[in-house]
Structure 1
């Protein structure tokens, strides 16, 4: 079979083939996968928003992405391998249109061969007797690396990699024998994970790479992947409330479910890496690097009310340069009602005056569409916020803060309707379809449910519907936006089943999530890439290059269309925003809670910019101790902020607001009220 495969490959490519000598049979595509590949290629070329041609230019993008998917850190392939594989760089476009997948599997089979060589090196050839007194370092930014020119060079690269991991364990006071055992077990699990790959896994991997070459939100789901996704979603609803994905050897947070324990804790975010899991308050941590995703999910899941402890590396930080932080989350079952908005009232003193500020936290934009379609009473974000506003009015609040931090979006209609609670009427969002036609989502209700002072809190993880709402509030000059720049996702996707195109096929085919349209603000600016820029900018460790839409290589570009016709309010203007910013800048430079926040942010940014770290124990230890010293100093400062009546009375009477972003949002709104606005 393998010999026949190589003969076919030889004549199809008219070039020399790789001489795979491994005794085990290699993975190869099926006829059904060939048919499905042709179908996906046709679907994307015809219906994708950008109408991107499948040509040599796209072929090079697909090739580079596939190689990066397999070996992002340049740990397996050699430079000589890349020279051989480069012959496919301008051919994958023709191959996929024909459903010809043999080169894809040839690339993977070579990767698997190189992977096994690395695992053999770690288990059988590498000496774990490391000298931590030598002055050497390891490169942690793969962009700075070239492909290894020889196995000897790759061996040394892996020696440093394992040495760095061993040093981390040694600094956490693990014995040398335990370090060797833990690391060998870690790579044995990784070996078992890759060893279980089947033909369908390679097909899923490649087809998703192909789909994402059009844009990062277009993707392919095989039948088994779709089913596993549903299972993981339901499992997450009985655990910590987070969906997980695999990122190389690591388990990464794909999303935080609104209303769940993880969301409520504010301790874990999208793209955080989970490196260890422990049960209960005293359970021993289990290293999960290299584990299968399903096994990690099973470890994190557990009965409602039980405690799970996680060691995480925050998003954007290198595992090799960051000491994992421990967080504790009590498992719970997520209910729809826990995703609803909730409110609280805080007192704030500004210039001798006391103001009552209502805070409405909105975890997601939801709509019970099925109940609405049946004419039954249905739940919605807008309906629930409307009730909360009525309650806050009864409490005679002086202003309202809408907290959209980490709200990843949801129903487009709810973003429109919610915006309508704060303006009289008018356009909220523009949607351009792939044929160039433009639809306008409009609030047609002339009632303004709340006409008082308004602030909206955003962060880098506020996306999609959150950006439509906050963008409309900003465009209408209705309220002040405080926090971080939003995610910048301005595209619309739809899930399409491939079976509808070939109804005579009895087997279950995959699904394609396809980008079909693009969002624009009422002022004509796309939310793509740029998102919503806050009027009052808080210190943030999340820059556009590493987080959000702009961090994706194939993200659709920003552009502008004609502005809608809308009437701005007189709640805000440039002069008022300038005054608010001046007061904010004064606090950034003088108030301890913001100075402390800025120090944390500066440290995080500095960590992201590091390209290498020392493998000398004394130097690494000094680096860790210095970072710990800075964290402890900031923690003591925060404790002082929370307990010092002179400090707290400048902001709030109860001293409970330890969240600097929320705290500043409240103060900014109080400044706005003090100016006599609204």
Structure 2
């Protein structure tokens, strides 16, 4: 799974509302350090990757296609003539990289910039007219395989329908024509302005993404900023003020205050406050940041521990001309606990028996590598946090434990091994085979498991890499039941190399390269690659298994197999699976919430698969009315997904209050999959206890240590 790195909850934007729009976008050119970074990356990947891919004409063509797709995935901007011109150089990208000359991708981006300015200018001009919503015509919502426009007239027709659809969505949500014009004009202007704030690093990152993706689905290039975000995501901490920031209307806005952080403890900042200036130290000059890229403002606010940052604030309820205030904050280490493992206890009542099931949600396999290397005994790690939570759950006398790994894209291999040991004890967890064919077995040495009671693992298509190592080991040892969708299928191992160290640069210039060095294998000898982990009991999910997961990549490593490693199966749930499946089927058949959820999934998949939508107002209103009717039925029965009517707005077009309310509603929505997975764990406890059912919290199996 290609991981998108970013500060938790931080919505990065490159929009610059303060920028005066020129008639033509800036022409960007490559920097020497970027050309050197591409060259060094190419030399390294062609020699040391697990499956070396030569940088030749064939790879050059793939890079070109990936780069064009990254810029114009819906084929709404480039013209066919542009593509024809680009293709005359599609076998020259390899020579350009090796020759440290990146003019080809930069010239493509400059054409993209021109087309985007032209199309957004045209879209805004359409807002001066009215649309006829009585005619029968359709708008293609999926255009990734459609032909590019052959002429300006053809492109204008595509964009007329695009704007008409945007208008119709807002009209159906009850907006007036004046409000629609204002909303859409601002939306297209924001898109237009992105071009003017783009820089050469943006272009280079996009090009390197296209290059590394062409080599391997999980090979990535990190510039300095991306590398820093990766480090933060792994150690779950940073030095700053403890505020989640968001760009809104050109202002860097406080979206959330991190509990215990300097900003929250000071009492000087509130959600909705806007930062209009940043100064360093007690007396450093304030630099205006209105319209500045959010990522740049974030870097200005972060710094070294115990240093002072000054912020010029425009209060949330103040107008642009109202008075500002300046505050000083002392930077401190901020713990990002929202992305740490957390627990809850669910009560399961079935057949008159009440069971307490402890649920531990692990968003990622995080680990503070640096702290661990430095010998810090209290370094942050996912398995350490889970061990603490397990001890607490044992004190609370739960009957079983459910590990929720949905959406967990992986992380530290060591943490996955340690986590497995908490439930399995001493023994091999995973095998690795490197490029030379050497196989190493990674084991855990804890003599006894911390939790030996009933166990379930909940996965979905977003569970990848380290998540799959853990789930596979639990399954191979017969230790617990895997519930959910088939996992992602990422069975490869990556490491990160600092390019500056390779060429012995004294200062960071070239960035870092994450590349594949080995492949994972289960203790039973099979790899998790492509096939992933198949659940013992399947639950419905949103994923399209044909277009998501490792199998959707055309250059993924194939599934293969090696010899199993000797391991002692410590549990055998095979005899229980048929009974567990029967109980599950009977329960969900009579569970309104689950049935409504399954029906919602079918409808959402049908909507996702639609190639076109009608631009006829009467037809669309019938669809909206039917959706409203179904939502009312769900509300009356208390089932189904928590959703909302389509207001036609994008996230940054709503008020901050409304946006946060929607986010909170999603968080607080009933999680029917988690509830059913917990019920399955309760079934395990029930079946393992036999006919004699103990009182809640008295399960002997749950108290083993």
Which of 666, 681, 698 aligns to 1:669? It is: 681
Q: CA deviation at 1:374?
A: 4.9
Change (3 A) 1:69 1:397: closer
Q: CA deviation at 1:489?
A: 2.7
Q: CA deviation at 1:153?
A: 0.5
Identify which range, 387-396 or 446-455, moves more after superposition: 387-396
Q: Which residue of 1 aligns with 2:203?
A: 202
1:355 aligns with 2:335: no
Work out the CA distance in 2 between the residues paired with 1:556 and 1:260. 43
Q: CA deviation at 1:164?
A: 0.6
Change (3 A) 1:40 1:576: same
1:407-422 matches, within 5 Å, as 407-422=408-423
Work out the CA distance in 1 between the residues paired with 2:25 and 2:191. 19
Q: CA deviation at 1:412?
A: 1.7
Q: Cα deviations across residues 112-171 of structure 1 (Å, max 9, x unaligned)?
A: 232232233223467531111111111011135211111101000000001111111112
Work out the CA distance in 1 between the residues paired with 2:223 and 2:116. 25
Q: Which residue of 2 aligns with 1:603?
A: 603
Work out the CA distance in 2 between the residues paired with 1:627 and 1:384. 43
Work out the CA distance in 2 between the residues paired with 1:380 and 1:101. 40
User: Is the Cα contact below 8 Å between 1:523 and 1:564 reproduced in 2?
Assistant: yes
Q: CA deviation at 1:484?
A: 2.5
1:145 aligns with 2:140: no
User: Is the Cα contact below 8 Å between 1:350 and 1:674 reproduced in 2?
Assistant: no
Runs of 5+ consecutive residues of structure 2 not aligned to the other structure: 1-22, 248-255, 261-270, 274-290, 303-310, 318-332, 643-667, 690-700
1:360-509 matches, within 5 Å, as 360-378=360-378, 379-503=380-504, 508-509=509-510
Change (3 A) 1:372 1:591: same
Q: CA deviation at 1:606?
A: 0.9
Work out the CA distance in 1 between the residues paired with 2:403 and 2:457. 5
Q: CA deviation at 1:71?
A: 1.0
Q: CA deviation at 1:45?
A: 1.1
Q: Which residue of 1 aligns with 2:189?
A: 188
Work out the CA distance in 2 between the residues paired with 1:598 and 1:618. 29
Q: Which residue of 1 aligns with 2:73?
A: 72
Q: Which residue of 2 aligns with 1:7?
A: none
Work out the CA distance in 2 between the residues paired with 1:99 and 1:347. 62
User: Is the Cα contact below 8 Å between 2:593 and 2:638 reproduced in 1?
Assistant: yes
Root-mean-square deviation over aligned CA pairs:
3.8
Work out the CA distance in 2 between the residues paired with 1:368 and 1:37. 29
User: Is the Cα contact below 8 Å between 2:364 and 2:382 reproduced in 1?
Assistant: yes
Q: Which has the higher contact order (CA 8 A, sep 6+)?
A: 2
Work out the CA distance in 1 between the residues paired with 2:205 and 2:49. 19
Identify which range, 354-363 or 520-529, moves more after superposition: 354-363
Work out the CA distance in 2 between the residues paired with 1:507 and 1:295. 18
Identify which range, 208-217 or 361-370, moves more after superposition: 361-370
Work out the CA distance in 1 between the residues paired with 2:528 and 2:218. 15
Identify which range, 551-560 or 578-587, moves more after superposition: 551-560
Q: CA deviation at 1:444?
A: 2.5
Change (3 A) 1:82 1:384: closer
Q: Name the TM-score, length of structure 2 as normaliser.
A: 0.73
User: Is the Cα contact below 8 Å between 1:135 and 1:614 reproduced in 2?
Assistant: yes
User: Is the Cα contact below 8 Å between 1:241 and 1:334 reproduced in 2?
Assistant: no
Change (3 A) 1:458 1:334: farther
Runs of 5+ consecutive residues of structure 1 not aligned to the other structure: 1-21, 245-256, 262-277, 281-289, 309-332, 643-655
User: Is the Cα contact below 8 Å between 1:237 and 1:260 reproduced in 2?
Assistant: no
User: Is the Cα contact below 8 Å between 1:241 and 1:260 reproduced in 2?
Assistant: no
Q: CA deviation at 1:76?
A: 1.4
Work out the CA distance in 2 between the residues paired with 1:135 and 1:488. 44
1:98-247 matches, within 5 Å, as 98-124=99-125, 127-223=128-224, 226=227, 238-239=242-243
Q: CA deviation at 1:609?
A: 0.7
Q: CA deviation at 1:426?
A: 1.7
User: Is the Cα contact below 8 Å between 2:75 and 2:144 reproduced in 1?
Assistant: no
Task: Name the SS for the 1:177 alignment partner.
Answer: helix
Q: CA deviation at 1:413?
A: 1.7
Q: Which residue of 2 aligns with 1:576?
A: 576
Change (3 A) 1:127 1:144: farther
Work out the CA distance in 1 between the residues paired with 2:640 and 2:31. 65
Work out the CA distance in 1 between the residues paired with 2:184 and 2:463. 38
User: Is the Cα contact below 8 Å between 2:359 and 2:402 reproduced in 1?
Assistant: yes
Work out the CA distance in 1 between the residues paired with 2:34 and 2:357. 58
Q: Which residue of 2 aligns with 1:540?
A: 541
Change (3 A) 1:467 1:502: same
User: Is the Cα contact below 8 Å between 1:193 and 1:291 reproduced in 2?
Assistant: no
User: Is the Cα contact below 8 Å between 1:404 and 1:462 reproduced in 2?
Assistant: yes
Q: Name the TM-score, length of structure 1 as normaliser.
A: 0.76
Change (3 A) 1:95 1:366: closer
Task: Name the SS for the 1:452 alignment partner.
Answer: coil
Work out the CA distance in 2 between the residues paired with 1:307 and 1:434. 56
1:497-646 matches, within 5 Å, as 497-503=498-504, 508-573=509-574, 575-638=575-638
User: Is the Cα contact below 8 Å between 1:77 and 1:114 reproduced in 2?
Assistant: yes
Work out the CA distance in 2 between the residues paired with 1:341 and 1:122. 46
Task: Name the SS for the 2:215 alignment partner.
Answer: coil
Work out the CA distance in 1 between the residues paired with 2:206 and 2:41. 14
Task: Name the SS for the 1:82 alignment partner.
Answer: helix
Task: Name the SS for the 1:676 alignment partner.
Answer: helix
Q: CA deviation at 1:65?
A: 0.5
User: Is the Cα contact below 8 Å between 1:406 and 1:461 reproduced in 2?
Assistant: yes
Work out the CA distance in 2 between the residues paired with 1:144 and 1:100. 31
Identify which range, 485-494 or 221-230, moves more after superposition: 221-230
Change (3 A) 1:513 1:337: same
Q: CA deviation at 1:59?
A: 1.5
Q: Cα deviations across residues 312-352 of structure 1 (Å, max 9, x unaligned)?
A: xxxxxxxxxxxxxxxxxxxxx96356655444444433333
User: Is the Cα contact below 8 Å between 2:24 and 2:117 reproduced in 1?
Assistant: no
